[in-house]
Amino acid sequence: MAKKNQTLGEFIIENQNDFKYSSGELSRLLNSLRLAGKVVNHEVNKAGLVDITGAAGDTNIQGEDQQKLDVYANEIFIQTLTDRNIVCGIASEEEDDFIIINSKDENHQNKYVVLMDPLDGSSNIDVNVSVGTIFSIFRRVTPVGTPVELQDFLQTGDKQVAAGYIVYGTSTMLVYTTGNGVNGFTLNPALGSWYLSHPDMKFPDDGKIYSVNEGNYLDFPAGIKMYIKYCQAEEGDRPYTSRYIGSLVSDFHRNMIKGGIYMYPKGSKNPKGKLRLLYECSPMAFLAEQAGGLASDGYNRIMEIEPTELHQRVPFVCGSKNMVKKVHKFMQTFGE
C-alpha cells in the first residue's frame, strides 16, 4: 500500500513483487534513473550561473540544434546506466543509432533496454521554463548474453515494462509506472531523496485545458481545426482554457493533474508528425493509459503502432479520455 512521504527506494522495494519479471534488476535500473535525474536537476538549477545554456553548436539526428544541457543530460544518463552494468542497450533522441552495452561480465544476463529523451523542451532552458526527461524501458527480444539489435528497440508501446518522466520545475518530480498505476515522487534537495507526493495519479475523465501550438493552426488537419473551434466556443462549460508550455513533460504533467488534452498533429511542415514515437509518445501513452487517460495519433492507439525506425515521428493526441475521444470524432468527421 503506497504511503505518502515514503521514499522512492522504499516504494520500489515494497512494490517490486507486483512486477511479473521481478528479479531486482528493474529496481536497480529505476534507481540508476533517479540518480541521474538528481545530477541533471543540479545542473538545470544552476543554469543561469554557469556556461551551460544556449546551443552546443551541433545538431542531432533530427536536424535540430542541440543545446548544451541536451548534451550534458544525454551523457549523464548514458554514463549512469552504463557504469552500473544493468542494461544491455540504450537509445537516445540525441544519438544517431542505438548503443550496445558490453557488460564487464562475459556471462552478463542484462535483459533491459532503455530509450530516452534526456532533456525534453531544452530550448526553454534559457528562459527558465520547466523542462524534463522522458524514459521508456523494454525487455530485450533477442537472446540474453548477445549484443542487442535494432529489433530490441523497435517494439510496440504495449510491450513496455516501465516508463516515466522527470520534470525539472519549481519542484523536481519523478513520475513513473510499471503497469500498476502511476505514482509521483518529489525531490527534497536538502536530503537528496525522492518522496512519494502524488500516489495513484489519475487523469480526470474530462478537462477544461487544451494544449497545442496555435501558431501552426493554418497547417493543422481539418479535424484538429474544428476541435479547436469547439474548445473555443461559448457553450456549456466552454470555452476551454488554452495552455501551452512547449515542453511535453510540463504540459502532460499539468493536464494529468488538472484535466486536459495535449495535441501535436501533423502538418505540411511535419507531414509525419513532430514528436518521436519511441522517445516521447510511447512512454507518455503508457503513463496516460495507466492514469485513466488515452493517447492516439488522432485515429489509432499509440501503444499499438509498430515502430519501423528509431527516430520515427507520429502525430500525438493525449490526455483526459473524453477529450481524446472527442478529437477522434472530429478527425473521423472532418479528416485531414
Residue 122 marked as a ligand binder: yes
Is 117 labeled as ligand-binding?
yes
**120 is annotated as contributing to ligand binding:** yes
What single letter denotes the amino acid at residue 129? Answer: V
Residues 6+ apart with CB under 8 A from 326: 227, 230
Asked if residue 244 belongs to a known ligand binding site, the reply is yes
**Which residues, in sequence order, are bridge partners of residue 174?**
166, 185
CB neighbour list of residue 335: distance below 8 Å, 6 or more residues apart: 221, 222, 223
d(CA 28, CA 12): 9
Residue 129 burial by Cβ neighbours in a 10 Å radius (0-12, 13-18, 19+): middle
29 known member of a binding site = no
User: Does 123 belong to an annotated binding site?
Assistant: yes
21 is in an annotated binding site: no
C-alpha cell at 24: 531486482
The 10 Å CB-count burial string (b at 16+, else e) for 201-234 is bbbbeebbbbbbeeebeeebbebbbbbbebbeee
Residue 92, marked binder = no
Q: Is 219 annotated as a binding residue?
A: no
48 is in an annotated binding site: no
List the binding residues for substrate. 120-123, 213, 244, 274
Q: Where is the binding site for Mg(2+), in residues?
A: 93, 117, 119-120, 280
Instruction: Give binding residues as ranges.
Output: 93, 117, 119-123, 213, 244, 274, 280
